[in-house]
Structure 1
Amino acid sequence: MDLRHQLRFKVRVGHTVFDAGSADYVEGRADILVYQHETPLAVLELKREGLAIKPADEEQGRSYALLAQAPLVVITNGTETRIFQTHDMARLEGTTVEADELTRRVEAASTAARTGVSTAISKLLGTDLATSAVKALTTRELAELTSGWESGERFVEGFIVPRRATRELREVLRSGRKVAVLAGPPLSGKSSVLRELALTSEEVGWDVLYVEGSSCGEGLFRRLANVLAAQFSWPAGPDDVRVWVRQLANRVGRLLVICIDTLPLASAILLGELDELLGSFGDGLRVVVAVDENDLDSLVHKPNRREKTRIGRISSTIKVGNYDDDEFKAAVRVLAVLGGGLVYGALYAPELRAPWVLRAAVADQMVEASPERQAVLAPLLGVQVFGVADDRFSDLGELRDDLKRLTVAYLNDLNTKRHHGDVLSSLQLFSIRQEVVREHLDRTAVHGLVRAGILCRGASFSDEATWVIRVPELFGHLIANRIASTLPRKVSKDSQDAANWLIAIGSKILFGDAICAQAIFRAMPELGGGLYIDLINSLLRLPPRREKLPTGSRMVALLPRVGLVDMNVGQDGMLSLGIRGSAAKTLTVPIEDDGFTTVANMDGWLILSQLREFRVVFQDEGGSLLNLAGPLLLELGSCTEVLRRPGSDLEGFHTHAIEGGSISCFQNGIAEPITWSIAELLSNDIPGVDRDAWVREAATSGSAALVNRLGQALTHLSELEEIGSWAKEMLANEFQPALAALPQFH
């Protein structure tokens, strides 16, 4: 009869096409579809020899036959063979089926397929097709949240950064823990961790079911029922889904991992179902829930805060935050594959470590990027980070007004006497004492900011209750606006006092140099040219200087993951270091012959290095154009100290000692804002700037610091398509001779 067979065959279930059948005997049987010409004729269930034929074998064979519209089901273990007609599973006796009888049975099978599809789907989705079904559901959910760089969707197509938290999740789930809680501040990448876990599930042999938590208002099982109906045309109800999930959770040798992103704690239905899942759904079930850090305590503790919830008792918590060094390097590699090249030196830019900031900062250029033609992505954002935050959080509404009121409270509180540990920690985060917040915001406003994930409770060295801002980039933007509103009045009274006031603020806060630079830029229309230049000159009069600390000097430092460290310059030429509150012995180290020095007065020039002055052009009375960037960058670039704030972590940032100070190692790449400003000055055709003349003046200045920064900028520019030839010429003809003339570089 011209028969042919397929060991693997396609069956359509709703909108999804499954690759059915099996080429081996993984479950003790193989599924084969037999055709007559192009018409499905029979599904064969082949049992391993010696295994008894069970009712489950007949049910699975019929389910495949219904979906394939094959009129016959054949089940054999090699010694016993059973043949059934699909539409009613009546046993066929005899050895032949006449052609006209076969036609009637094909028609009957077609009718049965239409009427029995729901039963067939429910059986198969819990058995052979379970893994494919879970993958199809997860793919559908993730696809709804994924788009290109220009969109505001949760995920970007192809941009998946391997996270440490994903590895920790796998370890927790392997250990036998029923629940893993993924917690972190808003936009820290919790959803991306769940996405990575789902997309790499085949590597570990798990079935990962991703569910978008905000869609589960009526409960998890109702949500899954709706998705199953849409994806597979299976009109399942919540109870059908319960049965299905139990089937999946009780399979031998394969875990089902349900990921709920982000868990809505206000849904009593969902929380009840989650409790049900954890109590009675089999040992093969694991649950991962992602929550904002503000919701973590409510999830794992009962309202009395003395007892843990079921989730709290059986879960492990994994924290997600900004990219660490390895994660950031991985992000750079992924961007390179997609066509975006971060300028060398970006490793030292703390603002790019926030996952949402990195994505938003590179989005515009990545739209046009391709592996063949890379986009150049800045190694430092500086003041640009505030524009990124302003765009990202433009729809906060009243919450934004509440945050503006908090900037007033924050700036006023800066001048109060505080514990020196809190003073130092303010360089790493924005925190406000709760009693100060209460003076400016009512309880409802505070609760709204907490619910939005913008505020969370924090600790302090003084043991005072504090609130911590969890979106510091946005708060920094609002602080800059607040400073800008006051700055013109202060400059008009006394520009030097205004510069000192600006430095006093910038030296005490996170992003201080960039915030003050942004404030100057925003205040320019009101300042006008004269006051603006007065302010710039006043900041220039306060250059960094190196000071020797006299014997008897006492200091305190805040080291990440260590705490407060007391430092004393002793009479015996030794520096003693002791961790406060630690039983560890005090460490003493000899002070070099030239004494123990520190760099003072950094902040004025740090602010200037963030200004990107080439954006500002003045026109004199004769119509000539004047750009302050040329002479300003020559002076700032000659600074014999590294013009950057250290990061909050202990970085591998290398410096070299030169006469009078130190410089950033050439191999760091562009890690100082001033060097990036020089690179941008030279890469653009700026009115009032002769870049050839600027390079020659910098190269012949005799300043080791300026020559070093010039070389870093030109090395970067030499790799760019439009300006690369010019930069290589400048490197060969100007930089290299200048380098050779500086003996300290030898």
Structure 2
Amino acid sequence: MTAKKLTTSPTEADLEAEIHHAIALAFPWLPAESIHHQTKFSFTFGRKKIDVDGTEASRAEARSDIVLYNGDRPLAVLELKRAGVPLTPDDDAQGLSYARVLNPSPPLVAVTNGTDLHFIETHSGKRWQPTQRAEQEFQALVTSAARVAAADMKQAIETLMGTNAAVWMQAVRLTAAETMDELSASWDEPARPFARGFLIPRKATAQVLRRATGGAKLILVEGAPLAGKSNVLREVSLRTTQLDDIATLYVEAGVAGGILQSLADALARSLAWPVTREEARSWLMRLSQSSDHRLLLAVDGLDAGDNDTRREIEDLSSTTFGPGLFVIVAVDDAVAGKLVTAPNGLTESAIGRRAQRVHVGPLDDREFQIALRVLRGHRIELMHGAQATPEFRQPWVLRATSALVIERIEDAAPTLAVALPPLLSLDLIRHARERFTDHELRRLFKAIAKAVLADTRDQKRDTSLMLESLEINVVRRETLRQHVDATELTWLIDRAFVKPAIHASGDSILFIRLPELLASELARLLADELVPLVQADAQHAATWIAGAASNLPIGDVIAAQAISDAVHRPGSLSFDLIRALLETPPERQPVSAGGRFATHFPGVGLVELVFKEDGTAVVDIDGHLHTIDLGDDGMSDTYTNIHQWLILSHLAAVPFAMETPEGLQRVDPGILLIVGTADLVLRKPGGDHEMRAAPTHEVPGIGSMVCHEAGIIEPITLSIFRYLMRDGAAASDWIDSALAEDSMPLLSRIHIALLQASSSAHEELATWAEETLTSKVLPAFKRFPVLQCSNASPTSGVSSITDLL
């Protein structure tokens, strides 16, 4: 039988034997029992603790880093090479660097391979060559070292950061963690991009890591503002902490004179390693030559006008740097388009040729389910219907709606959870007003709100910018400058409340963060204007507030809050406004051949459609024409006057009374009865078609209704649900009045609301809801046609456009 050696690397016993042999060789004058060693030790860079495991280093690099002690006093750093491996100047440099960063610092560095041996003085960096190696000479060395100034810490850190992967990877990860902690939101800094304990895993992260590990040197992570690009970089950083060969360093672009300066500042702040921009580049170049350990440089928030940073990206992604460095850059869609195109606008730029591009959009179905699990981890649930709410596919909305609840649920009993409404509602603004109480911040956001309103009223704006502003909070820089001074604008930009960009139209714009605070201030401003308008002409005021809602993101919520605010102002509002809104119901109008429409798609921009008689439509995307089949339904319908009843849908969610011809009366139940009869799906138009699709019933002669399987996806249904939850059995008379309306759409909405109420933890309320369903609502359906489910959508053919994009 032939024996075969299975252990190919030294065992810990082998290493211990080599250490004892090296100690006897280096310090023969000291009793062996007086010397002990540590193969695992730590030291501090700035505020960061770095751990060193000499055992692991021995397995990986045929060397061990060991600290020797004589009693309690550090004696030497021992750089132990395996037998037969020659000693090099790099061994001296690494051992010397360890000795200089340790506190207290050992006076000697001993480097040996078990046969050859040399010493380096820690304080001078020179060879220690006494006439004879004895205790007296060693004591003289210790005394001399105590009188000499501290060694060059910067040089020691530079050596370890440049030669030892175990050190620089830890340092990089700790620096990134510190930066991200600094950028995590708190009550006094709410605009920061991250939320502690709240991170939704994204598919884009997996794509980035696949491409990075596959050899991509440059990756662009692109998407609309607030789409979650920064959090993709954060997730990449966290995931790479689990990898042995990749570390991620996160830096902000445009905050400190470019990527390299931001990198130098981060290293200096976190590691007390004051490197210059040029030294940071040299460090990156040295690291990039390794193929065993790689640095992922994650650059967040590049601005299109930042030409210096653009040149740095071109430099860092060039062949000047080796395979050990790859760069990820998070950019807005508009910036990405400019980065990948040469100045002539006709050819690809250097970045365009090198970059692999990863898009971050709204949460898809799978990501949304993961987001729900993340929220459940905080004991937060979303009611049934949220899956068909486009706004909830935006990570910022989930963060904003759950922020205040997270704070409160942490103090609640562990058996309790909270269920959030499945739609955006007036709660968003109420929570914003509870959360953002800083008077200076509110003053500046009021100025931003004034600028936003001024922009919405400027019909000379570029069409693509006008359409984009319906979905995203954006303002032209020149407009905002009329409402804030230069110092205030700089303050807003520095604290990330607004983000500069160049729009595809060429306009200098600012994307606005904290949309919920902006919505609150917009509502206050609209309320100020609304009161005198109603007093002059209620019908005109109703048209005006509906127009304002149609021109703003979540405009229906903002307009409803404006009316609620105005009701409580001196002079109040008359019921004439509510009547005027009620008397303008939404209407459905068929699209005729030749009809021309324009819309905005995130990441693409302006898209134009022309409907044809043959059941097709021509789509114009960046001047390229495509023909799409509209399907069996042919041309679809458009809706007019939808915002009047959408505003009322939100307004009726809270009890309120007004002076009517019959005296002071509560008016929300009456609004629910009337608006609930709408014969179409009463939802805000726009948004992603796929995420708005929900099963509906189309009944000839009656209209479109949401299928009960979809849950609550209309604001009016949510308001009916809240009314029933508040009043319970006391709402039985209202139920009877609703049934008397003989309206199938109203009956359908009540059915959905009662289904949700029947699952309430409030047993008495749930029982009443079930009994009402059984005894009143379900029998009432027998008066109407049998319902058949279909996957209806707001406009036919849009999914085909999505496929083109």
CA contact (8 A) 2:724 2:731 kept: yes
1:48: how far off?
Answer: 4.1
Aligned counterpart for 2:182 among listed residues 132, 140, 144: 144
Deviates further, 342-351 or 703-712: 703-712
CA contact (8 A) 2:474 2:512 kept: no
- Equivalent residue for 2:422? 379
Check if 1:12 corresponds to 2:44.
yes
Taking a change above 3 Å as real, the CA distance of residues 44 and 189 of structure 1, as seen in their structure-2 partners, is same
Aligned residue type for 2:774: Q
Aligned residue type for 2:583: R
Matches within 5 A, 1:60-139: 60-68=94-102, 69-70=105-106, 73-77=109-113, 80-82=115-117, 84=119, 87=122, 89-90=127-128, 114-115=150-151, 117-128=153-164, 129-139=167-177
CA contact (8 A) 1:655 1:664 kept: yes
- Equivalent residue for 2:694? 653
Deviates further, 2-11 or 138-147: 2-11
- Equivalent residue for 1:31? 65
Q: Following the alignment from structure 1 to structure 2, what is the Cα–Cα distance between the partners of residues 412 and 266?
A: 25
Aligned residue type for 2:159: K
CA contact (8 A) 2:385 2:711 kept: yes
- Alignment: residue pair count: 715
Q: Following the alignment from structure 1 to structure 2, what is the Cα–Cα distance between the partners of residues 708 and 654?
A: 13
Taking a change above 3 Å as real, the CA distance of residues 454 and 589 of structure 1, as seen in their structure-2 partners, is same
- Equivalent residue for 2:683? 644
Q: Following the alignment from structure 1 to structure 2, what is the Cα–Cα distance between the partners of residues 591 and 253?
A: 58
Q: Following the alignment from structure 1 to structure 2, what is the Cα–Cα distance between the partners of residues 430 and 268?
A: 26
Aligned residue type for 2:86: A
SS in 1 for 2:563: helix
CA contact (8 A) 1:636 1:674 kept: yes
Q: Following the alignment from structure 1 to structure 2, what is the Cα–Cα distance between the partners of residues 19 and 610?
A: 57
Matches within 5 A, 1:540-555: 540-544=582-586, 555=595
1:510: how far off?
Answer: 5.5
Q: Following the alignment from structure 1 to structure 2, what is the Cα–Cα distance between the partners of residues 267 and 589?
A: 46
1:376: how far off?
Answer: 3.5
SS in 2 for 1:287: strand
Aligned counterpart for 1:726 among listed residues 756, 761, 764: 764
- Equivalent residue for 2:20? none
Deviation readout 1:635-676 (Å, 9 max, x if unpaired): 333444322134422233221245712322223232111122
Q: Following the alignment from structure 2 to structure 1, what is the Cα–Cα distance between the partners of residues 280 and 392?
A: 43
CA contact (8 A) 2:268 2:274 kept: yes
Aligned residue type for 2:721: A
Identical residues among aligned pairs (%): 30
Taking a change above 3 Å as real, the CA distance of residues 589 and 671 of structure 1, as seen in their structure-2 partners, is closer
Aligned counterpart for 2:391 among listed residues 345, 348, 351: 351
- Equivalent residue for 1:338? 378
CA contact (8 A) 1:190 1:290 kept: yes
CA contact (8 A) 1:567 1:578 kept: yes
Aligned residue type for 1:124: L
CA contact (8 A) 1:345 1:670 kept: yes
Taking a change above 3 Å as real, the CA distance of residues 618 and 161 of structure 1, as seen in their structure-2 partners, is same
1:733: how far off?
Answer: 1.9
Q: Following the alignment from structure 2 to structure 1, what is the Cα–Cα distance between the partners of residues 769 and 366?
A: 32
Q: Following the alignment from structure 1 to structure 2, what is the Cα–Cα distance between the partners of residues 312 and 86?
A: 52
1:172: how far off?
Answer: 5.1
| TM-score, structure 1 normalization | 0.77
- Equivalent residue for 2:715? 673
1:20: how far off?
Answer: 0.5
CA contact (8 A) 1:7 1:32 kept: yes
SS in 1 for 2:682: coil
Aligned residue type for 1:216: A
Deviation readout 1:161-198 (Å, 9 max, x if unpaired): 23444445445545655444455555444433332222
CA contact (8 A) 2:317 2:354 kept: no
Taking a change above 3 Å as real, the CA distance of residues 133 and 716 of structure 1, as seen in their structure-2 partners, is same
Aligned residue type for 2:156: A
Aligned residue type for 1:374: A
SS in 2 for 1:380: coil
Taking a change above 3 Å as real, the CA distance of residues 586 and 81 of structure 1, as seen in their structure-2 partners, is closer
SS in 2 for 1:160: coil
Q: Which runs of 5+ in 1 are unaligned?
A: 460-464, 570-574
Q: Which runs of 5+ in 2 are unaligned?
A: 1-32, 789-805
1:609: how far off?
Answer: 0.8
Taking a change above 3 Å as real, the CA distance of residues 304 and 9 of structure 1, as seen in their structure-2 partners, is same
Taking a change above 3 Å as real, the CA distance of residues 163 and 388 of structure 1, as seen in their structure-2 partners, is farther
SS in 1 for 2:162: coil
CA contact (8 A) 1:517 1:608 kept: yes
Aligned residue type for 1:534: D
CA RMSD of aligned residues (A): 5.2
Taking a change above 3 Å as real, the CA distance of residues 558 and 664 of structure 1, as seen in their structure-2 partners, is farther
Aligned residue type for 1:162: P
Matches within 5 A, 1:261-660: 261-263=300-302, 277=316, 280-291=320-331, 311=351, 314-315=354-355, 320=360, 322-370=362-410, 373-383=416-426, 395=441, 401=447, 404=450, 407-408=453-454, 410-411=456-457, 413=459, 453=499, 456-458=502-504, 470-471=511-512, 484=527, 487-488=530-531, 491-492=534-535, 495-496=538-539, 498-499=541-542, 503=546, 511=554, 513-525=556-568, 532-544=574-586, 555-556=595-596, 563-567=607-611, 576-580=615-619, 587=629, 602-612=642-652, 614-618=654-658, 626-651=665-690, 652-658=693-699, 660=702
1:248: how far off?
Answer: 1.9
CA contact (8 A) 1:72 1:83 kept: no
- Equivalent residue for 1:247? 286
Aligned residue type for 1:378: P
SS in 2 for 1:216: coil
- Equivalent residue for 1:572? none
Aligned residue type for 2:295: L
